[in-house]
Amino acid sequence: MTRTTEPEDLDRIHHALDLAAKALEAFTPGEVEAQMKQGDDPLTAADVAVDNALRSALPRDGEGWLSEESADDPSRLDCSRVWIVDPIDGTREFVMGIPEWCVSVALVIDGRPVAGGILSVANEQRIVGSVDDGVTLNGQPVACTGRDDIRGALVLGSRSEVKRGEWTPFFPTPIAVRNMGSVAYKLGLVAAGSADATWTLVPKNEWDVAGGAALVTAAGGTVMGLDYKPVKFNQPTTLMDGFIATAPGIAGAVQDLISEVTAG
């Protein structure tokens, strides 16, 4: 059977996450100074250190690079294989000492997220996988849940979106909503079978989503855009309209629920 990824891609992801963990040892979450970037997003020295660590380990000649903390190089658009990373997804939580942040890595081939890694240092979780090899959590095989009934499904919602009231219409529905930070970490938990779905109906950047999307896909789940079509990455404009990620057995029911709520 023909592989999509190369056998050593997961080794590179593990090595990059090792280097990221080493870089983070110099910082204590909750005791890190932050400056504000354009758009009121925080930036810390830890973000930069992890970005440097990941870039030293991942891209090779002919491979593209897209990171929240690096200047965008349009040459990535000409590359078949592109690494898309968020050195710290959930920097606000990192600065506040809330353990809902992670390092996120994705390998995208021809726009398709095919391998990824999520490192949650605070929760001692490393979720790594590919469409060829499946997904592991701390070395043990995991997969999306086998749920086929949306009633009681655990859906991870954004803390900031819940605070703004964007999830209020979903509260009376049959799902159970748990709010937390970090888009990538929520996706990683869906891939690991710790939750049934997560979505956001507001714009997010590719680096927020790609690593987790690769893992959900590799774990047998479904990742789609708000048009219910597969999401493509490494686009000229990195801002996505939103995304939906679910365990495979409830993908259709989630579409129906979101369509009903947003139409109302």
Give the HSE-up count for residue 77: Cα atoms under 13 Å, Cβ half-sphere.
Answer: 7
Q: Which residues contact 209 (CB under 8 A, 6 or more apart)?
A: 183, 184, 187, 231, 233, 240, 243
Domains along the sequence of the chain with CATH: 9-142 (3.30.540.10), 154-263 (3.40.190.80)
pLDDT averaged over every residue in the chain: 95
- Give the distance, in angstroms, between the CA of residue 227 and the centroid of all CA atoms in the same chain: 19
Model pLDDT for residues 196-236, shown as the tens digit of each residue: 999 999 999 999 999 999 999 999 999 999 999 999 999 99
How far from 113 is each of 25, 85, 216, CA to CA, in Å? Answer: 29, 12, 10
**Whether residue 37 has pLDDT greater than 70:** no
Given a contact cutoff of 8 angstroms between Cβ atoms, the answer to whether 48 and 27 are in contact is no
Q: What is the pTM of this model?
A: 0.95
Q: 42-51, 57-66, 149-158, 197-206: which has the minimum mean pLDDT?
A: 42-51
Model pLDDT for residues 62-77, shown as the tens digit of each residue: 999 999 999 999 999 9
Rounded to an integer, the average pLDDT of 149-155 is 97
The pair of three-digit structure tokens given for residue 13, joined into one six-digit string: 């992801």
- Distance separating alpha carbons of residues 116 and 191, to the nearest angstrom: 11
